[in-house]
Amino acid sequence: MKLTADEAGRADKVLAKHYPAAGRKQLGELFDAGEVKLRGKKAKKGDMCAVGDELELTLEPVSKEALRPLPDPSIALEILVERSDFVVINKPSGVPTQPLKAGELGTVANALAAKFPECATIGADPRDGGLVHRLDIGTSGLLVAARTAEAYRTLRDAFGKGGISKEYLAITDGAPVSREMDAPLAQRGTHVAIDHTDGLAAHTMFQPQKANGEYALIRCIATTGRMHQVRAHLAFANAPLTGDTLYKGKPLEGHPGFFLHAHKMQLPLGDGTTLELVAPLPARFTAALAACGMT
């Protein structure tokens, strides 16, 4: 589109005027993915557009309703807790948490929409499907989804304020050189990096459970919930997840992927009580432990 006098300004605000139903989050992701071009070059949200400039969108945004997860009963859910207000599952490795585009299937959110139809309409992001937090595709373990709007607000608030204790088990290349990490993190495309200027606050504690020199089993306690937080902090502590090639982890022969499992969580119920959650280790994790000599 060639911009007129009343369209000049910040690139993100220009697009928001043209696509009011898309939402800020979706438009921001299009910028991050390089789908927005200004004067033929990749644009940033804060770039200023002048009259006559060409602003190009290589991928059209869709309405919020189109992004809601479609039911997909082919994805099996291991349900650990089922209540009228929320549900807790043990997510398998290799399954995405939620769809990234309209009509996508094969995610946890799709499975929730099939099993608990009310979840499909719950969430600040239409793709949430009731989920109040996320896990990476390669991470297994505890995942919580709200079944009511009130539960969604309460649980999201608890996660956002660091009111939920989350413990992960990780197989790493060697043991961390520190017992905790508070380096701030900033997204850089498909990964995150330590950024002491613009990064978001992040804190992870490490407690070695087993080690044999080459590998270690680490209990990781995350008090914040940043993208790839545990993965990046372990890598910065000189102990990347085994198999996590994005963060310089070495592949484990015969055992693809990395090994990070959301094992325990203390979930506040809003009435002053706390629900203790534990997700059993998947077979692929225990097999990897054996392959690393840590059974």
- CA dist 61 and 124 (Å) reads 17
Active-site hit among 53, 128, 136, 244: 136
Average pLDDT over residues 31-45: 84
Same-domain status, 253 and 279: yes
β partners of residue 192:
187
Q: How many CA atoms lie within 13 A of 72 on its CB side?
A: 21
62: number of Cβ within 10 Å: 17
Same-domain status, 148 and 176: no
Query: Is 249 within 8 Å of 257 (Cβ atoms)?
Result: no
Band of residue 147 on the pLDDT scale cut at 50, 70, 90: very high
Same-domain status, 178 and 286: yes
pLDDT tens per residue across span 225-251: 899 999 999 999 999 999 999 999 999
Whose tokens are 């994005």? That residue is: 246
Average pLDDT over residues 259-281: 92
Q: Is the pLDDT of residue 20 over 80?
A: no
pLDDT at 197: 93
Domain ends where: 17, 33, 58? Answer: 58
Same-domain status, 210 and 283: yes
140: number of Cβ within 10 Å: 28
β partners of residue 142:
90
Band of residue 62 on the pLDDT scale cut at 50, 70, 90: low
Band of residue 79 on the pLDDT scale cut at 50, 70, 90: very high
pLDDT at 230: 97
pLDDT at 63: 65
Same-domain status, 136 and 206: no
DSSP E strands, 130-190: 140-146, 165-173, 180-181, 185-188
Band of residue 46 on the pLDDT scale cut at 50, 70, 90: confident
Average pLDDT over residues 256-271: 92
Domain ends where: 58, 76, 102? Answer: 58
pLDDT at 260: 98
Same-domain status, 292 and 169: yes
Domain ends where: 108, 143, 161? Answer: 161
Number of domains in the chain: 3
Band of residue 21 on the pLDDT scale cut at 50, 70, 90: low
Same-domain status, 232 and 249: yes
Same-domain status, 168 and 293: yes
Average pLDDT over residues 274-280: 95
Q: Looking at residue 20, which CATH number applies to its domain?
A: 3.10.290.10
pLDDT at 192: 93
Query: Is 58 within 8 Å of 35 (Cβ atoms)?
Result: yes
pLDDT at 150: 94
In which domain, by residue range, is 136 found? 66-161
Q: pTM above the 0.75 mark?
A: yes
Active-site residue, 12 included:
no
Torsion of CA 247, 252, 256, 262, to 10 degrees: -60
pLDDT tens per residue across span 164-204: 889 999 999 999 999 999 999 998 878 899 999 989 999 99
143: number of Cβ within 10 Å: 25
Phi, psi (rounded to 5 degrees) for 232: -70, -40
- CA dist 102 and 150 (Å) reads 26
pLDDT tens per residue across span 84-132: 999 999 999 999 999 988 889 999 999 999 999 999 999 988 888 999 9
Average pLDDT over residues 65-75: 89
pLDDT at 84: 95
Q: Looking at residue 145, which CATH number applies to its domain?
A: 3.30.2350.10
Mean pLDDT of the chain: 91
Specify the 3-state DSSP secondary structure of 207. Answer: strand
Band of residue 60 on the pLDDT scale cut at 50, 70, 90: low
201: number of Cβ within 10 Å: 12
pLDDT at 288: 98
Same-domain status, 170 and 280: yes
Record the tokens describing residue 44, joined without a space: 């940033």
Same-domain status, 214 and 294: yes
Same-domain status, 151 and 214: no
- CA dist 75 and 26 (Å) reads 25
Same-domain status, 147 and 190: no
pLDDT at 44: 87
Query: Is 247 within 8 Å of 229 (Cβ atoms)?
Result: no
- CA dist 21 and 63 (Å) reads 5
Whose tokens are 């789908």? That residue is: 35
Record the tokens describing residue 144, joined without a space: 């919580």
